[in-house]
Structures are given as structure tokens and as C-alpha cells.
Structure 1
Amino acid sequence: MPRYDTRCFPFETSETPRARAMATDERILLCTDLDRTLLPNGPAPESPLARPLFHHLVEHEPLLLAYVSGRNRSLIEAAIREWDLPLPDYAVADVGTTIHRPQAGEWQVWEPWWTHIGRAWGRRTAADLAPLFDDFEELAPQAPEHQGRYKLSFHAPADTDHAALLARMQRRLGEQGLRASLVWSVDETRPIGLVDVLPPDADKLGAIRFLMRELGLGPEQLLFAGDSGNDLPVLASEIPAVLVANASDAVREAAEWAAHEAGHDDRLYPARGLSDDLNGNYAAGIIEGLVHYHPRMAEAVRRHLAHLQTSGS
């Protein structure tokens, strides 16, 4: 993959828009899913300039970047290398059950988040809960690298009646006096169903709300971008969100219904494409959502895009 040289961009002094805005708390916390949201690893076409433009915006504008992914830390780092992504300020990994902060070349686990979510399960971890589902024939444990301290993950057939399955799992947990958040999604590239068992509130939405509180930000200073079933709680929440244009029709319909039921129609924006250069898929959709909710960013987008078009970076 090409590497985008942001050093050549003409906004490199202490008086950059990013530096000024960070100092005056005009920050925007940009939280984005990775696979098939920022990463163009789905069947839809990617606008060639979208990812370089995303990279420039993160480097030079007042954006705090958080990757919010079902991937674990090592797989997030692999994606950063493979797709030449900017290093985030925060990484919400394992479907929200772990928060990392990359600092000085090290990825620090944010222990207060583990303390917070671990209370619901007492001293138990995800591994302690696994035997509860041994007799669920439709469930197959995912590989060890996809499990976490507070994330128990299974595969299931994509055509499973997932509502009935999750209800059975909740009953089993309830028999043990346990509460959990159960997340269903489908990896459409295979296709196969994915089931995650998490502590209550230890999903992407809970982690983003925790970040928001810790950073002293309000919902109007956030943007979330997603494409899949495990993004639905955020897409239907009070947090401004963009659904990238390459999301499936099923996810789009589910997100719009859930947002409407929650009274948050105005907090969900389905990307459609801004221009011939930004078709609404993947990074182009994230940028479109940024402009929709934060119109002041429109001029920055035009400026950076013009630079990329003329420089060939």
C-alpha cells in the first residue's frame, strides 16, 4: 500500500488549525470502526483519495481519533501497518471490552475501564463463563486470539435465528445470576455469524461513553462511524453517527429503525456520497459524516482534498 507523506503538507507550525483548536477545546472525538468502515476490505469500491484525505484530516485538524473495533490490539496494529492508517489517540478493542492508549511507542491498557466493567461479573472472566454454553450446538468458540478477559466470542451459522439464540443465552446466564450484553453480527465476507458475550455496558457504546466522560466532552463533540450489527447500539444512540454507504441494506434498515424507536433520527446519517471524489464508502463516508455534523470542517476537507489532487500525495 502507498504511504501518505503528511509531512509535506503546509500546516506544520504551532499555529496550525489543529493546535489552535485543541488549545481552545474545539476537539472532535472521531470514533470509527475498522473493518469495512475505515478499511476498504469489503466488495464496494473505495474512492482513491478518501484514505489519504482521512489521514491528512487526522494529522492537521482538531480530531482525537479512536479506533473502535472487534479486533484485539495485535490485529488493530496489523491493520494500521497494512493499510497505512494514522496512529489513534485511543483504541477501543475487543468489541469495547478493552481500551488502549498508544503513548511513546507503548500501548497502555486503560485499567479503570476494566475495573468498571468487571464489577458486573465479580471475579469471573469470560473464560469462566464459557462452560455455560457447552451444550449450545449452534455455537462454536472463536480462536483464542479473538477472546478477551471480558469478551467471550462464538461463531454461529449466518442464517441462525439469532433473536431466539440470544434469548436462550440470556436465560442461561440469568440462571447463574449473571447479566451480560450479547452482540450479534455477521461477517458478510465469509459469511458467518458472530456472537459476543460481554459484561453489561461493556460494548462499543459503553466504551465510547466512558471515553466521552473521561475526556470531558459532550455528545455534540463526537462522531461515530460504523457499518455492521455490532455497531447498532451506537448508531441508534444519542451520539452523532454516520453509517457508511457500503453498509448492507439489512444493517441500514435495522439502524434506521432502532434510531427512530430511540427518538434519535437526527443522530443517524446514512452516507450517500459527497462528490465524484468521495463516494460515501469506507473513509469517504466517515468524512461525509464529519462534514454533515460539523459543517465548519467542510472548508478543511476542500482544502486538503485540493492539495491531494494537485500534489498526487
Structure 2
Amino acid sequence: MESKYYIVLISIHGLIRGRDLELGRDADTGGQSLYVVELAKALSRHPDVGRVDLLTRQVFDQKVDESYRVPEEQIDAKSFIVRLPCGPRRYLRKEVLWPYLDQFTDQAIRHIRRAGRIPHIIHGHYADAGYVGAGLASLLEVPFVFTGHSLGREKLRKLLEKGLSEEDIQERYNIRNRIEAEEFALGVASMVVGSTRQEITTQYRQYENFHPHKKVVIPPGVDIERFHPEPAAADSRVRLLLEPFLRSHAKPMILALCRPDERKNIASLIHAYAQHPRLRELANLVLVIGNREDIRELDTGSRKVLSHMLLLIDRYDLYGHVAYPKHHGSDDVPALYRLAAASGGVFVNVALTEPFGLTLIEAAASGVPIVATDDGGPQDIVGNCHNGLLVDPLNTGQIADCLLDILEDGSRWQEYSRSGMEKVRQHYTWHSHVDTYLNHIRAMTHLEDPHTYELKPMQKFSIMDRLLICDIDNTLTGDLAALQALVEKIKRNNRRVGFGVATGRHIDSARAVLQEWGVPTPDVFITAVGSEIHYGHSGRPEHSWSRHIDYRWNPTRIRQVLEEVPGIRLQADSEQRQFKISYLLDPTRAPSLKEINRLLRKANVTVNVVFSHNEFLDILPVRASKGHAVRYIALKWGMPLENILVAGDSGNDEGMLRGGARAVVVGNYSQELEKLKGHENIYFANTNFAAGVIDGIRYYDFFQEEDDAATGDSGNH
């Protein structure tokens, strides 16, 4: 029995490494990056934890440091950063990562197989990792923990309030993908970790999959060995960093430290400072807004924020009063807080919304009083630490008045400084965070080896090194001559290449149609749109798959919810299965798929909705699909996904066509698959039915036969 926890954390976007984090480099490398690295370190220090893997994206890009291409980085004795390939090698902003996340899932499976053990829990951070982590945890049958960090529905609400249209928001932020991923993660999660009470009671409540019993508030911690008021060697270097900007270095500092993001509301802070003569006379303003070489080379959002900042400094003629250094390192951050404290200054965070605000507890630990936005995390921090004042982030007069109230009242400054240092050690240490975190984990799972699949292969699976899986109708069937040619290829490679089918039909119907078309019995049947798995001639069912997908399956409730929905009606009894409810849908009368999903979620029903051929609607358990079934088989039998070739023609094949397996879309495909054109590892053949499958085999040289050396590149990729 394994006596220590193996924990997998997932944080996909941004740039993550164990040391010298480039916080503020861009909108994707901020507080979350620091949070997950510090959490990995803190967990690894606990005696009950055996190993922590932080999975993130591997990046090969001349614009970023080479450290982000290293496959594995050891943080300390028991924690590791594991970088997995996902999509293009270059650095991408998080909003464009969505098409590649299934690949990340497949790479994560490969990593877990290499690790040789199944994690006790998987913890996804932000919507993209929520999508990956929920799918991975479902496949591995382990508890899933989700932390949203910032939530799409709240972001959408705020942007709409600012006057942006939903279409503009979707184009810029891919907000619908984000919200859908958050709904999926919340539906699967056994526990949802929030940093503040407001985050749980207000922001998560906006979701259809909001379940209060799953939510726990565990504030992040601060590294009190780094953040403290005692002078250190780095302080003099940072003082030199600010000297060129400031006319009088003896004044107190008003310090802001954040990435160049419009939501951080730096413009309001500058207005507040510039428009109050007493504040300008009394204090210097220090703006540490990320790192940059050339503003013109930054992304659009960062470029806009920094250009506006410089224009405001010029407009108000703040030269000599405001410092805005271009560069700072990870070790400079604690020194900035110490300099602010030594000067009798204030730390300010007037973000439009603030889910937590790690900088606020760093400042508190360093002895700096704070002025912060009256929202989310700051409300809890000031409530616990009594170390500052809360303001309306859009009220520049109030911001200026509160800064002055602290700067001009020495006794208040001392009280806030002392209270912050004392209370942050009581409420916001990583030690207390991990203790609370693991107490909740213990309540979810026993400290023992979690469920593992029997990895010893059986029968043919023990000797084959690759597997061909095809849809039946209109992929295998449709052209008898082409199918016979494909069958000959399969027979010729029978010993080392397995053959399987993945179909919407049930097992008896699949056997009958294959026999009618002269197809030999497959080694594996994935049937009923991925809700059933059977093996070979014996038809032995994969009972562990049935147990696996039974999670939150409530067919009676599903039928009740959809009974009165116009434009859909149940298919014949012969098409209904234990884990599949099948309808016929009339697109002219029925609600949209989004609305059908919404109705089910409102009824606390978490399912997978599959629509194909513009008329068939299948409702499956959330863990069931053709794609999940393919990955399950790959995991169970230890086969790399690139050694599996899948072929299909319709919407219910999409899940298995996307991801790490090699994929063929036959030429007679349904329009539902048009959106997959251009995706990596998806080949669109120009020939139809089984001839298209043969083209795909040649394209990938999948059977590695001498007579198929030609690529047969008659399609597009």
C-alpha cells in the first residue's frame, strides 16, 4: 500500500517555472502562476505527500526563455514541473489554446503511465485546466478538485457593464468556451476551492453546476521567509532601479505591483494621485507594471495599458514623482515591499475586481499598510488583518483620501503595519493552507493506492502494437469493393495490428451489419456512441467501463426533463441502452443544443450531449463518449495514442477524432466535422467510405507496409 499522496496539479497557460517567475510578463503570467508553484512546494513539504507533479504546457519559442522547453524541472525533493506538448510549439495566449486541450489530456495520460501510478487527486487551475483535469480525473476514476481563479461568467458580466457587446467579448476572449469548460469542471468536481467567501457565494453561484456542498474556502498562503520587513541585500539594488525616476527619494512610496491588464485599473490610480496636490507633495508613486523591452512588441491589451499610463504621466507632468521601471526580477518583489515599508508608504491595489490578491498578503507580511478595492479577496484580507482601507476602484477622490488618511496619520500607519504582519501569519501561511487542503482530501479518499487498471494485456492486446478503430455506417460501409480491400489489409497485418469499431449501434446490431458486409469480428467493439465496450468473439463486456461511466447517471430524471421539450422525441426502444438515451431531433422546432444543456444542468443533471447527422440526439453519462472510450482502451492496454488510428464521418465521431490519436475523416463526411479542418493529426481524405480509411492508412504509413510506402496524399491535412 502506498502511504503517501501522489497529487497532480494542472495549470496550462502562461509561463511556469520553479524559480524566477516572470510575473507580470503578460496577462497570462500573474498571480495564478505564483499560486500553483507555491502550492506545489508547500504540498511537497508535508510529510503525508509523496510526490507532486505540476503539469503545464511545453513552449519552444525564441521570444521566451529556453527553460520553458525543458520536459521536466525538479522544484524540490518531492515536487516537479512537467511540461507537455500541446498544439503549436510557440507561446500562445490562453484564449487560443482551446482547440489543443484534448491533446494536453492525451499527453497527461502518457505522463501518468510513465509515472507508473495513478494520482490520488487531480487539481485543475483555471477553466482550461478545469476542462483537462475533469476529463482526466473522470478517465482515471479519481477525485477532481477545481480552482477557477477568475471566472468567465463574472468577466462576461463586467465587460457587458462596460458596454462591450457579447460578440466582441467572444471574439477577443473566447468566453463561451471558457464558461462551458467551467460548467464541465464544476459538474465533475468533488471539491471546488475558492479563496474568499464572496467568490463562492457570488461568483460561483452564477453557474448552472453550482453545488454549495462542494465549495470550500481555503485562502492562499504567503512565503514568510521571503516576505518580511527586515532589510536584505536586494534592497539596495532595487533602490538603484527607482533612482533615475524620482526627484526626492525620502518621500513615502505609494506602491502598485501588477501585470499590464486593463482590469488592474492603473489609470484610476494615476488620476487619483495626479489630481490631489497634497498627495503629489507628500509621496512618490511607484508603478511596477510587468516587464517589457519594447511596448510596441507587447500584446494588444498590455500595449494599450502601458501606452495610456505613459500618456497620463505626460499629461499631468508627473516626471520626478512617478517611477515606472521596465524590468524587475522575482527577488526584487520582496525588496519593493520592504522599501515601501521603510519609507512609511502604502501598497495599493484598485483592480476593478479582485478574486483574491496575493500581492495584498505579501505587502501585509512585509509590514506595508494597504488600500484596496472593495471586492472579493481584499474584503476578506482587510477583514482578517485589519491592515488598511477599502475603496470604490472608480472613485478617484476616495482613493486619494484613503491614501492620505494612512500616510498622514503615523499611529494609524503603525497599527496597520503591525496588525498586517501579525494577522497574515495567523490566516495566510502555506502551512495552514496545506493542512486545511489535505483535511478535505482525506475526507474524499483513503490514503491508499487508488483504482488502477489491470495493465497486463490479454489475448491479442498482449502482442499488438497498434490499433485501427473505425466507425461503421458510412465509414466502413458504403463501398463493398473498398471495404474488401481494407479487410485484406487488416487480415495481412492481423498479428500486430488490432481492429476495432466505434459506432452508435448497439452490440447486436453492430455484429449483424458487419457480418452482412463480410467484415471479420473486431478485437474490440465500442458501441452505443461510446457507452459500451466489448471484446472480440466472446463479446466479453468491459465491466469496469460500465462502472466508470455510471457516475451521476440518472436516466429517469433526464427523460423527465426532456419529456415536454418541443421538436425531440424518443427513438425506438431498440435504440435505448443502459447508458444511452436516444432521441430524434427536428432542428426547425427544437431548442438549441445550448438550451438543452442548460435545461439539464438546471435540473442538476450532468451529461454528455451528442448530436449527429442533423437529426440524432444521444444523451450519455458525462464520462461516456467514443473519444473517452478510445482513451480508456489506450490507457488500460498501455498503448500510446499515436499508435491508434481512428476513422469516422459524423458528429458523434468528433470526440475520438480530436486529441492525440491519429485521425481520418472520410470524404463523405457530415458538415458537423468541417470545423476540424486544419487540426493537427486529422487527415481529410478525398475518397469516400472504406477507400478514405485506406487513404488515411497510407497517409500515416500506419501499417508500415512496403507496398504502402507511397503516402497517397490525395486529401488535405
TM bin, normalised by shorter chain, reads: 0.7 to 0.9
Does structure 1 residue 135 correspond to structure 2 residue 542? no
Q: CA deviation at 1:236?
A: 2.6
Closer/same/farther in 2, CA of residues 180 and 31 from structure 1, 3 Å limit: same
Give the distance between the partners of 1:49 and 1:138, measured in 2 at CA: 39
- Of residues 50, 56, 63 in structure 1, which corresponds to 2:488? 56
Equivalent of 1:181 in 608, 612, 631: 608
Local SS of the residue matching 1:119: coil
Q: In structure 1, the residue corresponding to 2:646 is in which secondary structure? A: strand
Report SS of the residue matched to 2:489. helix
Partner Cα separation in structure 2 for residue 199 and residue 108 of structure 1: 21
- CA separation in 2, counterparts of 1:50 and 1:296? 17
Q: Which residue of 2 aligns with 1:17?
A: none
**AA of the residue aligned to 1:65:** F
Query: Who is 1:30 aligned against?
Result: 468
SS at match of 2:473: coil
In the other structure, the counterpart of 1:255 is 676
* Cα deviations by residue, 1:247-287 (Å, 9 ceiling, x for unpaired): 14x2342222xxx5xxxx22100012xxxxxxx21111111
Counterparts of 1:85-96 in structure 2 under 5 Å? Answer: 85-96=519-530
Q: How far apart are the structure 2 equivalents of 1:141 and 1:167?
A: 19
Superposed CA deviations along residues 179-212 of structure 1, whole A, max 9, x for unmatched, are 11101111xxxxx611011111301001111011
What are the ranges of 5 or more consecutive residues in structure 2 without an aligned counterpart?
Answer: 1-459, 710-717
1:285 lines up with 2:668 in the alignment: no
The residue type paired with residue 219 of structure 1 is L
One-letter amino acid of the counterpart of residue 536, structure 2: P
Relative distance call for 1:25 and 1:100 in structure 2 (3 A) is closer
Q: 1:116 aligns with which of 548, 553, 571?
A: 548
From the superposition, tell whether residues 23 and 96 of structure 1 become closer, same or farther in structure 2 (CA, over 3 Å): closer
With over 3 angstroms needed to count, the CA separation of the structure-2 counterparts of 1:170 and 1:31, relative to structure 1, is same
Q: Within the alignment, does 1:83 sit opposite 2:517 as a pair? A: yes
Structure-1 separation of matches of 2:549 and 2:506 = 17
2:643 corresponds in structure 1 to 221
1:301–1:82 distance in 2 versus 1, CA, 3 Å: farther
Matched to 1:134, the amino acid is E
Counterpart Cα distance in 2 of 1:296 and 1:39: 21
Check whether the contact 1:58–1:86 (CA below 8 A) recurs between aligned residues.
no
- Secondary structure of the residue aligned to 1:88 is coil
* Most deviating of 66-75 and 233-242: 233-242
Q: 1:204 aligns with which of 622, 626, 631?
A: 626
Partner of 2:681: 267
Which residue is equivalent to 1:241? 663
The percentage of counterpart residues that share the same residue type is 27
Aligned partner letter, 2:609? L
Q: Which amino acid aligns with 1:85?
A: V
CA deviation after TM superposition for structure 1 residue 295, in Å: 5.4
Q: What is the one-letter code of the residue matched to 1:131?
A: Q
Query: C-alpha deviations, 1:106-132, integer Å up to 9, x for none?
Result: 3111110000010232xx3x3552121
What amino acid does structure 1 have at the position aligned with 2:544? Answer: P
Larger radius of gyration: 2
Aligned to 1:16: none
> Aligned equivalents of 2:506 and 2:684: distance in 1?
27
Aligned residue among 61, 66, 72 for 2:500: 66
Preserved contact between residue 101 and residue 107 of structure 1 (Cα < 8 Å): yes
Distance change in 2, residues 1:37/1:127 (3 Å): farther
- Could you tell me the TM-score, scaled by structure 1's length? 0.73
Q: Report the AA paired with residue 173 of structure 1.
A: L
Do the aligned partners of residues 34 and 159 (structure 1) sit closer, same or farther apart at CA in structure 2, a change above 3 Å counting?
farther
In 1, the alpha carbon distance for the partners of 2:540 and 2:512 equals 17
Q: How many residues align?
A: 249
Residue deviations 1:197-253 (CA, integer Å, cap 9, x gap): 1111301001111011111111110000000111122223222100001114x2342
In structure 2, the CA distance between the partners of 1:127 and 1:56, relative to structure 1 (3 Å rule), is farther
Matches within 5 A, 1:158-197: 158-159=587-588, 164-186=591-613, 193-197=615-619
The answer to whether the 8 A contact 2:497-2:703 is kept is no
How far apart, CA to CA, are the structure 2 residues paired with 1:144 and 1:23? 34
User: What aligned pairs does 1:136-155 form with structure 2 within 5 A after superposition?
Assistant: 136-155=565-584
Q: 1:251 to 1:297 in 2, by over 3 A?
A: farther
Matching residue's letter, 1:182:
V
More contact order relative to length (CA 8 Å, sep ≥ 6): 1
* CA RMSD across the alignment: 2.3
Distance 2:650 2:484 in 1: 23
